[in-house]
Amino acid sequence: MKYKDYKILAKVTPDASYTVSMEQDIFDTDNPLIAGKTGSEKVLFVIDRGIGEKAIEKIKTYAAGFSMDAAFLVLKGGEDVKLGWDNVYRVVDKAEDHGLDRKSLMVLVGGGSVLDMAGFTASILHRGIRHIRVPTTLLSQTDAGIGTKNGINFRGQKNLLGVFNTPEAVFIDPSFLHTLDQRQISSGLAEIIKVALIQNSELFRWVERHYQDFLAQEFENNEMVTRIIWQGVLEHIKQINTDPYETEQGRPLDFGHQWGHRLEIITGHAMNHGEAVAAGMAIDCIISHKRNLLSSTDLESILSLLKAVKLPLVYESAAAAELWPGLEDFRRHLGGELAITLLKGIGKKIDVNTLLIEELEYALAYVKEQVQ
Ligand SMILES: NC(=O)c1ccc[n+]([C@@H]2O[C@H](COP(=O)([O-])OP(=O)(O)OC[C@H]3O[C@@H](n4cnc5c(N)ncnc54)[C@H](O)[C@@H]3O)[C@@H](O)[C@H]2O)c1
């Protein structure tokens, strides 16, 4: 077994723990892992069209090979799939047409957007149907697909409607990564760099040394690529296990996200999630440096890596006044007092309660003048 040791239990609560494991060829007809999660129960596969026809056919062949009582719903992936209720209704209709009941299983295969929307639907259908996730982008394999959050965008806000809901299992199959384009790879690296910055400096150095293998799509038999993906998973799970339902005021996994989410919205999602988070992190690193928390050398290394990974450091026409409301959106998302994660070194986070618009202006000017 290629990924024998790549398995971890996410211990959310004793009633809601689940395994996250790396698996080779999860939909090979001799791999019983998913089929073994269901007996005679009905199954609905919700599949991201972005994985390609060949992969979709492979899933159908898999279900037929194990005589699963399965239906398939293939949806166009990407952020739009989370826009409002339309796709939630589509999943519900398909589930109802196939006669799913509370013992049925949903198998969600796709990027973070399809997983967020379909995971949300699974949690409200019949007050909750079991689901398994097979994340298919680098970002969803190391972040969006492995945690407790599900949701859709509404009233121009990201994830305004959503739930905490745990899957029964998450299977990370790196063979899906081969069809990703460079922007999606870079976007996934942004979230790996994020966890490295807040809690694991060694992971940061690994990415510094090996990001080119990711950009060159050299995933096959590449031990360091596998280790980096898996370490990204472990760092995320560490945080999820610490605060699975986000009751604490600090949200380290949301590092850079107060600006990132805002950038996604004001660019009409022309910036994808990872790109926007990277730009948000760049701003917060510059603010950390201005506050004498982060050294010039560390700031330099971070901005250089983000650039090398082909991540934009800021949306070219972003003005402080446009980004600033992101802070209040974020405060409302936290409830109560604002807690923003900054850095006091690579791998060391610190929470602060205030930011000034002058600091944001400074950071945007810094990027324009000194970095781009
Ligand atoms: N729930 C969470 O905890 C959490 C965490 C982080 C991000 N997110 C959310 O995840 C979303 C971003 O997810 P994403 O980065 O996976 O992007 P995505 O799901 O929006 O997908 C991006 C594109 O990749 C395509 N795609 C999917 N798999 C593919 C494959 N194997 N090969 C080729 N193309 C493929 C999709 O069809 C889409 O066109 C955002 O909405 C973000 O807010 C959620």
pLDDT of residue 3: 87
End-to-end CA distance of the chain: 45
Q: Residue 315 above 80 pLDDT? A: no
Average pLDDT over residues 171-186: 97
Beta-bridge mates of residue 22: 172
pLDDT of residue 94: 98
CB burial class (10 A; 0-12, 13-18, 19+) of residue 331? middle
pLDDT of residue 1: 61
pLDDT of residue 248: 85
Mean pLDDT of the chain: 95
Orientation of helix 112-124 relative to helix 86-98, angle to 10°: 60
**What does pTM read for this prediction?**
0.96
- What is the distance in A from the centroid of ligand 1 to the CA of 75? 13
Which tens digit of pLDDT belongs to each residue from 116-143?
999 999 999 999 999 999 999 999 999 9
Q: Residue 17 above 70 pLDDT? A: yes
Nearest-5° angle of CA 267, CA 283, CA 216? 75
- What is the distance in A from the centroid of ligand 1 to the CA of 14? 29
- What is the distance in A from the centroid of ligand 1 to the CA of 199? 24
Of 312 and 234, more confident = 234
- What is the distance in A from the centroid of ligand 1 to the CA of 226? 19
Question: What would the 3-class secondary structure string for the chain be?
Answer: CCCCCCEEEEECCCCCEEEEEECCCCCCCCCCCCHHHCCCCEEEEEEEHHHCHHHHHHHHHHHHHCCCEEEEEEECCCHHHHECCHHHHHHHHHHHHHCCCCCCEEEEEECHHHHHHHHHHHHHHHHCCEEEEEECCHHHHHHHCCCCEEEEEECCEEEEEEEECCCCEEEECHHHHHHCCHHHHHHHHHHHHHHHHHHCHHHHHHHHHHHHHHHCCCCCCCHHHHHHHHHHHHHHHHHHHHCCCCCCCCCHHHCCHHHHHHHHHHCCCCCCHHHHHHHHHHHHHHHHHHCCCCCHHHHHHHHHHHHHCCCCCCCCCCCHHHHCHHHHHHHHHHCCCCCEEEEEECCEEEEECCCCHHHHHHHHHHHHHHHC
Contact 251, 280 (CB under 8 A): no
Q: Residue 371 above 70 pLDDT? A: yes
Q: Residue 271 above 70 pLDDT? A: yes
Distance CA 210, CA 231 (A): 14
- What is the distance in A from the centroid of ligand 1 to the CA of 78? 6
Which ligand 1 atom lies nearest to the CA of residue 55? Answer: 31
Orientation of helix 296-308 relative to helix 273-290, angle to 10°: 170
Token pair of 324 as six digits: 């600033």
Which tens digit of pLDDT belongs to each residue from 276-310?
999 999 999 999 999 999 999 999 999 999 999 99
pLDDT of residue 108: 98
Amino acid at 135: P
Which tens digit of pLDDT belongs to each residue from 316-327?
768 999 999 999
331-339's contacts with Cβ under 8 Å and 24+ in sequence apart are 334/249, 334/251, 336/249, 337/249, 339/249, 339/250, 339/251
pLDDT of residue 249: 80
Which tens digit of pLDDT belongs to each residue from 238-253?
999 988 888 888 889 9
Distance CA 89, CA 123 (A): 13
pLDDT of residue 370: 80
Q: Confidence band (pLDDT; 50, 70, 90) for 69? A: very high
Average pLDDT over residues 359-366: 95
Average pLDDT over residues 336-347: 94
Q: Which residues have any ligand 1 atom within 6 Å of their CB?
A: 48, 50-51, 77-79, 82, 110-114, 116, 136-137, 139-140, 143-144, 147, 149, 158, 176, 179-180, 184, 187, 273-274
Cα–chain center distance at 36: 26
Among 138-142, 154-158, 248-252, 335-339, name the most confident range.
Answer: 138-142
CB atoms within 10 A of CB 212: 10
Contact 170, 145 (CB under 8 A): yes
pLDDT of residue 336: 83
CA distances from 110 to 52, 57, 76, 287, 355 (A): 11, 14, 10, 35, 36
Q: Confidence band (pLDDT; 50, 70, 90) for 372? A: low
pLDDT over 70, % of the chain: 99
